[in-house]
Amino acid sequence: MNAEIRNWVEVGSIEDIPREGARCVKNGDMTIAVFRTAKDDVFALEDKCPHRNGPLSQGIVHDGCVTCPLHNWVISLETGAAQGADEGRTLAFPVRLEDGRVLIDLSYSHEAV
């Protein structure tokens, strides 16, 4: 599989996701958390904190980041990188919005799998 071949998959409408919240998308064995910010930007991360695999989709969304519900690591929604003194990175997926429809590029997940 070549990373340059994009695989955009529609997962639903932006209205399905609560503002400053997240929904999950099941992709085989992997769960992807799809976040919507207060400004209606949408981001997708693997639903796994780099620390202890906490479900990031359950965290509090604020200022372009999500705080993991298990031990309060703060993860950037855009890059998946842990903020502050913590180190680690969660897989981030490119997201596109078309007329309110949310599309995620899943080619990355294949690479990871």
- Nearer to another protein (CB atom), residue 38 or residue 97: 38
Q: Which residue in the set 52, 89, 96, 101 belongs to the binding site for another protein (CB under 8 A)?
A: 52
DSSP 8-class letter at 5: S
Sequence-distant contacts of 55-62: CB under 8 A, at least 24 apart: 55/31, 56/22, 56/90, 57/22, 57/23, 57/24, 57/31, 57/33, 58/22, 59/22, 60/20, 61/20, 61/21, 61/22, 61/35, 61/36, 61/37, 62/20
User: CA torsion angle for 14, 15, 18, 21 (degrees, to 10)?
Assistant: -10
Min separation Cβ 73 and another protein, Å: 10
Which one of residues 46, 54, 80, 90 is an interface residue with another protein (CB under 8 A)? 54
> Binding string, 5-44, against another protein, x = CB under 8 A?
--x-x-xx---xxxxxx-xxxxxx--x--x--xx------
How many chain residues interact with another protein (CB under 8 A)?
Answer: 38
By the criterion CB under 8 A, which residues form the site for another protein? 7, 9, 11-12, 16-21, 23-28, 31, 34, 37-38, 52-55, 58-63, 67, 69-70, 72, 74, 106, 109-110
